[in-house]
Amino acid sequence: MRTFDMTPLYRSSVGFDRMAALMDRALSADNANQSYPPYNIEKTGEDAYRITLAAAGFSEDELNIETREGQIVISGAKTPVEQKEGVEILHRGIAARSFERRFQLADHVKVTGATLEHGLLHVDLVREVPEALKPRTIQIATASPKVTIEQHEAA
């Protein structure tokens, strides 16, 4: 159940609409109920991250990873498996349903690669801040003028 209304944030702030949209998405009911497939988010270095998603039963060609509008979207669609002749399934407990997971990326975070091993999809991310945006130190020069005193002879 959603109890917070983010509308006041939209009308009383300038430039923070992205933050309000993030909070709105985080509190929305459809994200709260989405639990398939489970995932981990790990920090693997100072500016390196990894999303590990449980994708058991999916092959590389059934998974799709794309980045758009500051998000990474991971989706999977199972191709229908034909039932073998003479085999009757009494209980189907292994999930083979399609899914779509969205993760909001911070500024300057890029996907560097993805691997699928042992039923786990690993998506590696790195934050690359451009040189122009990194903090830099400005040297402070002293501006004390040199004073020269000249002595004039009296005539």
Same domain, 21 and 47: no
> Which has the higher per-residue pLDDT, 98 or 148?
98
Ramachandran assignment for 151, one of left (phi > 0), alpha (psi -120 to 50 degrees), beta (any other): beta
pLDDT at 7 over 70: no
> Which has the higher per-residue pLDDT, 117 or 11?
117
Q: Is residue 151 part of a domain?
A: no
| Contact predicate 57/36, CB 8 Å | no
Same domain, 123 and 65: yes
Mean pLDDT along residues 11-29: 57
Mean pLDDT along residues 58-69: 91
Q: How confident is the model at residue 32 (pLDDT cuts 50, 70, 90)?
A: very low
Count: domains in the chain: 2
Same domain, 72 and 8: no
Query: How high is the pLDDT of residue 18?
Result: 58
What does the pLDDT look like over 107-133, one tens digit per residue? 888 899 999 999 999 999 998 877 777
The Cα–Cα gap between 155 and 147 comes to 25
Q: Show the domain range for 22.
A: 1-33
Q: How confident is the model at residue 104 (pLDDT cuts 50, 70, 90)?
A: confident
Same domain, 93 and 22: no
